[in-house]
Amino acid sequence: MIASDEVAPGLGEALRAAGVEAGGPETLGARVTVVPVSAAKGLEYDHVVVVEPAAIVRAEARGLNRLYVAITRAVSSLRIVHREPLPPALRRAGPGMSAGSGR
């Protein structure tokens, strides 16, 4: 899971409180790895869940660059979870996709 630097620590705590084995990028063997977006560059994961993209964009002047890094860490699958409206760059659906298609 990749989240803004502000959200990531609380996300890891919430997962552990729910009984999910979660650790940071330095933790080997955790079922779920929670990575602050500032530490995601250069990493690759089979499956990535990006949490609250709007918070990533809003966190700093280069927020859209950080979001790009977050969504390009996935090798096999990418999921985005959010409560806030998606940033405009993610609202545009490409050919053959709809904003809610989950692809």
- In tens digits, what is the pLDDT along the chain, a chain of 103 residues? 999 999 999 999 999 999 999 998 888 788 999 999 999 999 999 999 999 999 999 999 999 999 999 999 999 999 999 999 999 988 875 554 444 444 4
Residue 100: how many CB atoms within 10 A of its CB? Answer: 7
Amino acid at 48: V
